[in-house]
Amino acid sequence: MELTIYQVDAFTDRVFAGNPAAVIPLSEWLPDNVLQSLALENNLAETAFFVPTPADPDHDFHLRWFTPKIEVDLCGHATLASAAVLYRELGWAQEEIRFKALAGDLMVRKKGAMFELDFPSRVPAVTDPPEGFGEALGAAPLEFLKAKKFLAVLEDEAAVLAVQPDMDFIAGMPGDGLIVTAPGRSEGGESVDCVSRYFAPHAGIPEDPVTGSAHCTIIPYWAEKLGKSNLHARQISARGGDLYCTLAGDRVLIAGQAVLYMKGAVHVGDGWRGKS
C-alpha cells in the first residue's frame, strides 16, 4: 500500500523554521498500531491523519494526531499543516474546514497568507508546583498554573531562554507537559506580547518547536494579565515561530503561516493487515 505524505513547516513563512509536521491523507482509517508506527517512523513531533466524512453534515474531515509515542487530543501545528495541504495541494475551496477531533469540533479558515485555527480555550488555574520543581526547572516561577498543561511564568524572555529543565522530572509530572512563558518585548519596532517554550518529554517530544495547543492556555493567561484580546505570541525555541492570536470567549483563534517542505510516498506493505 502506498500513501502520500507531506511535510509542512508550520507557524513560519520559510522552511527550516517553525514546527515540522507530517500529514498523511487517508480514504479510510488504518489500524491504530499502523498509525502509531507511521508516526514513530516519521520521528516528528506530530503526524496528522485525516479521513473525509461525507455522511457527517457537521464535519468535513476526521482528524487525528500522533507523536512518536502516543495519540494526542489536540495539536495546533499539525492542524495548520493539514489545512495547508488541503487548501494548497488537494484543492479544498470552501471558506473553512470543519474537523472532528478528540478535543471536539475544530475549524480552520484561510486568512490571506495565513491559516486561522479555531480552538477551545483552556484557562489555567493557580496551583502549587510539585516538590523540587524549581530545582528541576533551574528557576523559581513567579506563578505556577495548570490547565491540561502546566504553565510556569518567569520574569522575562532571557529567563525563558535560559531554562534547561530536568527532562526526567518533567516527564514524571502529571498532565500534558510544561509551558514556560514570560512577557514579550519590542524588537526593532515589532511588538511581541508574550514568549514561551514547551516541553513534552512524556510524549517523546523533549522540546516542541512551536505549539499551537499550548496557546489555548497561554493566550487566556496573558489576555487577562495584559488587558487585551489580540496578542502576538512568539515561541522562542531554536527553530521558533510566530502565532497571531485572539481570545474570543471560550475559543482561542490562532493564526500562522505554513510552508511545504516535502511531498513523497510511504510504502507500508501488507504486513499490517489482520493486526490491530
Number of domains in the chain: 2
- Asked if residue 274 belongs to a domain, the reply is no
pLDDT for res 232: 97
Is residue 262 a part of any domain in this protein?
A: yes
Rounded to the nearest integer, the mean pLDDT of the chain is 95
Q: What share of the chain is helix, strand, coil (3-state, %, to 5)?
A: 20, 40, 40
Neighbouring C-beta atoms of residue 172, cutoff 10 Å:
12
- Classify residue 69 as exposed, middle or buried by CB count within 10 Å of its CB (0-12, 13-18, 19+): middle
Query: Per residue in 77-104, pLDDT tens?
Result: 999 999 999 999 999 999 999 999 999 9
Query: How much is the pLDDT for 270?
Result: 73
Q: Are 221 and 261 part of one and the same domain?
A: no
**Cell numbers given for 96:** 473553512
On the question of pLDDT at 187 being above 90, the answer is no
CATH number, residue 97: 3.10.310.10
Q: Examine the domain organization and report whether 112 and 190 are in the same domain.
A: no
With respect to residue 272, please indicate whether it lies within any of the assigned structural domains.
no
Please confirm, yes or no, whether 116 is among the known catalytic residues.
Answer: no
Name the active-site residue from 2, 46, 95, 96.
46
Are both 245 and 141 inside the same structural domain? yes
Residues 180 and 106 in one domain: no
Residue range 224-255, pLDDT digits in tens = 999 999 999 999 999 999 999 999 999 999 99
Residue 273 has pLDDT above 80, yes or no: no
Quote the pTM value: 0.93
Residues 148 and 233 in one domain: yes
Q: Mapping DSSP to helix (H, G, I), strand (E, B) and coil, where does residue 4 land?
A: strand
Query: Which domain range does residue 69 map to?
Result: 2-118+257-267
